Amino acid sequence: MKLGAELKRILSVGKPSVREESPNRQAGRVLVLDGADVVGYRVVERLIDAGYADLRVGSRTMHAEKEIRAVDMVHFIWEDEDTYAAALKDVKTVFVTLPIKPTDWDRHFPRFLKACIKHRVTQIVKLSFFHAINAKTHSSQNYGYPDTFASHYFFRVVPFVHAHALCDGDLILHKELDVTILNATHLMSNIFRYGFQRIALKDKREFYGASRGEGVGYVSPNDVAEVAVKAILEKTHKRQAYTLTGPAAITDAKVAALLAERLGTKITYIEKPLNFFDSDKATLESIKAKGLEVNFSKGDIKKVIGRKAESFADYLKRTDLMTPVEYEVFSSHFNQACSSAKDVVEQKEAKEDIKERTETRNVSEEKEETTEEDIGPTETEEEFVEKERHVDAPQQAAHEITDAK
């Protein structure tokens, strides 16, 4: 079959398979690459929570909690092909998220696929980038090359998109593999991806972008991970490609507003020139600024997992699913909020204590049978509290001495 026809078939996004569904299908040993990635991290968590024990996680770096949960971890580096064998030993299924760095991972991907075949891997689920679809061509001789891109797309100058297109093509051509490609748009978690952005959010309460007010089709990494797990464990997703987008395109200014609401503080969106960012971030910003995602379709999330795509606001609420990197911004703001809240609570408790003591005094006065001559001058609330403080002082001092001992 020519590549063009194969692409037309596999990239007929969202078409249901005619195969009988078997949710409990054993995928064999599953290798997740990279386990520290925002999507890979979530895939690992979901597989563990589902009781899937035959799991291995490959990563350049790994979060400590994975060790606590006794996951089989291996050191995996894309540019170090000597790490492939240990990672792929006895593996039947691979879920792979390709990083932005190193920038030449696409050169290693074909050799990784050869290693997969050598180790008898039968299934690969790959996370790709939505716009890589636009970099594909129906010519097998020019697949993915810049001079064959449609003229109305600018992806010929975006290496990140080009690399995904090449790797997707390599993967599709391996007909001995059960392949599923997840074409995801910009991840909502990208706002926490870069160190300079996290620092700006924590210290300056600023969110930077260069999207020029265009709507962006952000998708939740929670949804992407859920689709990935379905693809790993169910038969119906073989030789399929899915488009994963959010419920609607939103501007980065709106993202800043949602962040401000969630964090309980002011977050200002600031439009920056592209040369403010490094090449990787500038690439993503330039894609957003093209306005190609304003009228995105709803994608295939509901078709695969049976519910609507998660909104940006809902993603920000699910801090329990976040990686430590994502949660770093939240913990910073939440700690500040907790300190402020503690002061408020202490002030409220002090006022309630005054009110309670005053009410107790009034009730006691009503019950006493005294003559008008016995009633002295009425105390003010402040005088009452001051008196009570002196009455309690000896007892309080005793407690403090005991504590000191």
SS (H, E, C) 31-60: EEECCCCHHHHHHHHHHHHCCCCCEEEEEC
Percent helix / strand / coil, the chain, rounded to 5: 55, 15, 35
* DSSP secondary structure letter of residue 80: B
Question: pTM of the full predicted structure?
Answer: 0.73
CA dihedral 189, 190, 195, 200 (to 10 degrees): -90
What integer is the mean pLDDT of 298-320? 93
- Report whether 76 contacts 106 (CB < 8 A): no
pLDDT of residue 210: 92
Q: How many CB atoms lie within 10 A of CB 2?
A: 10
pLDDT of residue 316: 94
Mind listing the pLDDT tens digit for each residue in 190-231? 999 888 888 899 889 999 999 999 999 999 999 999 999 999
Tokens of 13: 């996004």
pLDDT higher than threshold 50 for residue 46: yes
pLDDT of residue 123: 96
pLDDT of residue 307: 94
CATH tag for 3-188+218-245+297-327 (out of 3.30.70.520, 1.10.3720.10, 1.10.10.10, 3.40.50.720): 3.40.50.720
Within 8 A by CB and 6+ apart from 134, the residues are 149, 150, 153, 155, 161
**Mean pLDDT, the chain, as a whole number?**
75
Q: What is the CA radius of gyration of the chain?
A: 29
Tokens of 353: 């204590």
Query: Which stretch of DSSP H or E encloses residue 208?
Result: strand 206-209
